[in-house]
Amino acid sequence: MDMFLTYLIVFAIGGGICMVGQVIINLTKLTSARILLIFLLLGVLLEAIGVFGYMKDFAKAGVTIPIMGFGSNLAKGAIEGARESGLFGAITGGVKAAAAGLTGAIFIGFVVSLISKPHSKS
């Protein structure tokens, strides 16, 4: 029962965030790159003001799977870096924390694109 509730929250919050994105698309016709940017920067901002941690405790993957989670990871790393080793940490911390996502996306994307054949969009 506890697990069911967790997944219900994840579904509701994650779906809700995507629905907000859809509303923005419907109203402004923004392209997907700008939508990604908006949510990424929102994640950075929420982490910077210290709210994202509470959201993560409550909604888990519901807020970390949306690109906000990537933004918050970047900001979190930079903040931790700044606390531990000052300016150098502030500059290197973000990418260090987001290394899994970045490297994964680039390497996996490269290999899969090499293997796959172009297909016409129908």
Partner 1 sequence: MRLDKEQSKEYLAEIRKDMPKTKHVRTMVRAFLTGGIICCIGQGIGDAIKAIFPSMQEDEVGGFVTMMMILLTAILTGIGVYDKIGAFGGAGSIVPITGFANSIVSPAIEHKREGIVLGLCANMFSIAGPVIVFGISASVLVGIIYCFI
Question: What part of residues 24-63 is at the interface with partner 1 (CB under 8 A)?
Answer: 24-26, 32-33, 35-37, 39-41, 44, 47-48, 60-62
Q: How far is the CB of 1 from partner 1 (least distance, A)?
A: 15
Site string for partner 1, 80-99 (x = CB under 8 A): -xxx--xx-xxx-xxx-xxx
User: Residues 2, 4, 5, 118: which binds partner 1 (CB under 8 A)?
Assistant: 118
Does residue number 66 form part of the binding site for partner 1 (CB under 8 A)? yes
Q: At what angle do helices 68-97 and 32-48 cross, to 10 degrees?
A: 70
Which residue, among 83, 88, 16, has the nearest Cα to 55 in the 3D structure? 16
Q: How far is the CB of 88 from partner 1 (least distance, A)?
A: 10
Count CA atoms closer than 13 A to 69's CA, side-chain side.
16
Phi then psi dihedrals of residue 83, to 5 deg = -70, -35
Does residue number 2 form part of the binding site for partner 1 (CB under 8 A)? no
User: Residues 51, 54, 58, 104: which binds partner 1 (CB under 8 A)?
Assistant: 104
Which residue, among 111, 91, 102, 96, has the nearest Cα to 67 in the 3D structure? 102
